């Protein structure tokens, strides 16, 4: 049996960054559903949170899980569920692209706190500014749909 501990911080947005997750109550329902659905699929979500137009997820990947498949399972099923529940005023979709970066053991608590405080964080800083900071910090090109 392999012993693996690989944490990845994922960030993805709603299609066209529309602020469709408008209330804290709706966001809590979505985050809880994503967590429960992931658990059923053997995906371990350490922390989840976000704001009106995006989601942050700290995930510990298993030995047979890829970044792409994990995102496909989480985003595809959750958008279907959000629409089925009628949680938004128009058809809900996640943006195709996403951000993913590894997180070292020494930074886990900092990332957890950051995800937990998204509501407060985005009163001071827009998602666009946050996204631009990620792109600079991790050296990604700014030519994606997320940005």
CA distance 12 to 142: 15
Cα angle value 9/88/8 (rounded, 5°)? 5
Eight-class DSSP state of 15:
G
Domain topology for 6-138:
Alpha-Beta Plaits (3.30.70)
pLDDT digits (tens, 9 = 90+) for 56-87: 999 999 999 999 999 999 999 999 999 999 99
pLDDT digits (tens, 9 = 90+) for 88-133: 999 999 999 999 999 999 999 999 999 999 988 888 888 888 888 8
Percent of the chain beyond pLDDT 90? 76
The more confident residue out of 146 and 35 is 35
- Tell me if 49 sits within 8 A of 121, measured CB to CB: no
CA distance 34 to 73: 10
């Amino acid at each position: 049996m392999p012993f693996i501990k690989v944490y990845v911080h994922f960030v993805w947005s709603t299609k066209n960054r529309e602020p469709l997750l408008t209330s804290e109550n709706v966001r809590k329902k979505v985050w809880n559903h994503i967590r429960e659905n992931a658990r059923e699929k053997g995906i371990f979500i350490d922390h989840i949170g976000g704001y009106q137009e995006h989601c942050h997820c700290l995930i510990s990947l298993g030995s047979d899980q890829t970044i792409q498949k994990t995102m496909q399972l989480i985003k595809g099923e959750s958008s279907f569920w959000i629409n089925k529940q009628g949680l938004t005023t128009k058809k809900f979709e996640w943006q195709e692209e996403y951000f993913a970066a590894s997180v070292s053991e020494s930074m886990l608590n900092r990332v957890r706190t950051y995800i937990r405080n998204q509501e407060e964080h985005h009163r001071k800083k827009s998602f666009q500014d946050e996204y631009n900071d990620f792109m600079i910090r991790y050296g990604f090109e700014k030519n994606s749909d997320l940005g």
